[in-house]
């Protein structure tokens, strides 16, 4: 529940997806800085840690055998293989928080978005970010300076396949300008928080007013 809300409510799962390099990490960071009541869902991954990343903040880094054991034990709300590595959303941190009214932000791919929507439909709000053009997407990947030519080629090859899932999302935005896109994403979050079905005690509240 945020300061501006009157009735308590169930938390929501706010998914940001995009082809690699379209800007979801950039928008997610701004959103987390602006929204104190939003917590990042920290995924488990088998991908190696990158310079500048922190264990437990960016990801929980693990090896494939341990990841497979977690899959077997049903520890993930969703999981998927992306760019040859495994990524999963730990179930424990999310389920309790949602019931307590905590909102979570997910930076996950279309496979994870699909699984979460199927498993937890009404709690999920999904947003897909598109780049303004394929040329601009490649430019952003190159200017980020984190990947080799080969990795960038792989991300570009995959981008078209990822974009083909645009119509499975609740909202689709073109990230042309960071600030404008951030404001649009924030507006969606604020409106979704106010949805009738998320508010607890609304029926009783309205009945009381009508008495
Ligand atoms: N609207 C924008 N205009 C120009 N540059 C942008 C914009 N949004 C993001 N960028 C830049 O593009 C690069 C890629 O952005 P970012 O890392 O947020 O992408 P991503 O979708 O999270 O990628 P990945 O899936 O690989 O983690 C970064 O250098 C970022 O600063
Ligand atoms: N289905 C899931 N996808 C995830 C998860 N965590 C991250 N991701 C996606 O993986 C790619 C690559 O991420 P990177 O940090 O290695 O560049 C990106 O599309 C993420 O959105 C997850 O738990 N489940």
Q: What percent of the chain has pLDDT over 90?
A: 79
pTM: 0.93
Compute the average pLDDT of residues 150-164. Answer: 92
Q: Is 74 annotated as a binding residue?
A: no
Structure tokens at 204: 């009783």
108 lines ligand 2 (CB under 6 A): yes
User: Residue 200: which pLDDT band, with cuts at 50, 70 and 90?
Assistant: confident
pLDDT at 29 over 90: yes
CA of 140 to the centre of ligand 1 (A): 6
CA distance 42 to 97: 13
Is ipTM beyond 0.90?
Answer: yes
**pLDDT (0 to 100) of residue 146:** 82
19 lines ligand 1 (CB under 6 A): no
Closest CA to 181 of 44, 5, 16: 16
Structure tokens at 123: 């709690």
Ligand number nearest to the C-alpha of 139: 1
Sorted by where each starts, the structural domains of the chain and their CATH numbers stand as 3-40+101-210 (3.40.50.300)
Structure tokens at 112: 């994870």
CA of 109 to the centre of ligand 2 (A): 6
Mutate to test the pocket of ligand 1, among 140, 161, 173, 174 (most ligand atoms within 8 A of CB): 140
20 lines ligand 1 (CB under 6 A): yes
CA distance 65 to 83: 18
pLDDT at 3 over 80: no
């Amino acid at each position: 529940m945020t300061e501006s809300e009157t009735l308590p409510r169930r938390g929501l799962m706010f998914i940001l997806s995009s082809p690699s390099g379209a800007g979801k990490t950039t928008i997610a960071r701004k959103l987390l800085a602006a929204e104190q009541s939003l917590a990042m869902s920290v995924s488990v991954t088998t991908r190696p840690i990158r310079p500048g990343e922190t264990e437990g903040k960016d990801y929980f880094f693990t090896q494939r055998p341990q990841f497979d054991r977690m899959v077997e034990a049903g520890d993930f709300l969703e999981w998927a293989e992306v760019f040859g590595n495994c990524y999963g959303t730990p179930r424990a941190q999310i389920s309790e928080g949602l019931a307590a009214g905590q909102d979570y932000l997910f930076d996950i791919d279309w496979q994870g978005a699909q699984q979460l929507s199927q498993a937890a439909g009404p709690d999920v709000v999904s947003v897909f970010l598109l780049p303004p053009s394929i040329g601009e997407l490649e430019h952003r990947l190159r200017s980020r300076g984190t990947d080799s030519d080969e990795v960038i080629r792989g991300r570009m090859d995959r981008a078209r396949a990822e974009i083909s899932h645009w119509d499975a999302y609740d909202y689709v935005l073109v990230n042309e300008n960071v600030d404008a896109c951030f404001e649009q994403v924030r507006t969606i979050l604020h409106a979704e928080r106010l949805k009738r079905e998320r508010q607890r005690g609304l029926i009783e509240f309205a009945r009381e007013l009508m008495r």
